[in-house]
Amino acid sequence: MKKNPKDIAKDFLHLVGTGKVEEGYDKYVSKEFIHHNQYFKGDRQSLLEAMKQAHNDEPNELVDVKNVFQDGQTVITHSLIVKKSMKITVVHLFKFENGKIVELWDLGQIIDEASPNENGLF
C-alpha cells in the first residue's frame, strides 16, 4: 500500500532524525530534490551529508512530530527535537511529486526553558 505524504514526511523525519539518513533519502527523497536551508548548498547530496554529520556530532535523543498538516502535495510538520545540549522546535515544509519529497524548507528555534510564555511552543 502506498503511503500518503503526511506519513512519508513523518517517517522521513524519524529515519533521518535517528541517524538513518541514507535510508530516509533512498525511500522518500527524489533525485531532483532541492532544499532551502541557508547553511548548506541547495542540492540533495549537500543536505544528506549535513544530516549525517549532525548525527555524528550530536545525535538526537528524541524526534517527536507533534503536528502534521497537508494541503494538496504540501505537508507541514511541527516537531520537538531533543539533543543532549538543547531542545529545538522545528517546522518543516515538504513539497511532494509522485510520492517523493522534491523540495524542503526547515525553520528551527532553540527552546528557551525560561520563556515567560505560559503556552509553550506546542
Output the domain CATH number for residue 57: 3.10.450.50
pLDDT band (50, 70, 90) for residue 2? confident
Question: Percent of the chain scored above 90 by pLDDT?
Answer: 97
92 found inside a domain: yes
State yes or no: pLDDT of 1 exceeds 90.
no
53 found inside a domain: yes
115 found inside a domain: no
State yes or no: pLDDT of 70 exceeds 90.
yes
95 found inside a domain: yes
pLDDT computed for residue 109 by the predictor: 96
118 found inside a domain: no
- Per DSSP, the residues of the chain read -PPPHHHHHHHHHHHHHTT-HHHHHHHHEEEEEEE--TTS-SBHHHHHHHHHHHHHHS--SEEEEEEEEEETTEEEEEEEEE-SS-EEEEEEEEEEETTEEEEEEEEEEE--TT-S-TT---
10-63 confidence digits (pLDDT tens): 999 999 999 999 999 999 999 999 999 999 999 999 999 999 999 999 999 999
17 found inside a domain: yes
Question: What is the span of the domain harbouring residue 18?
Answer: 5-110
Q: How many domains does the chain have?
A: 1
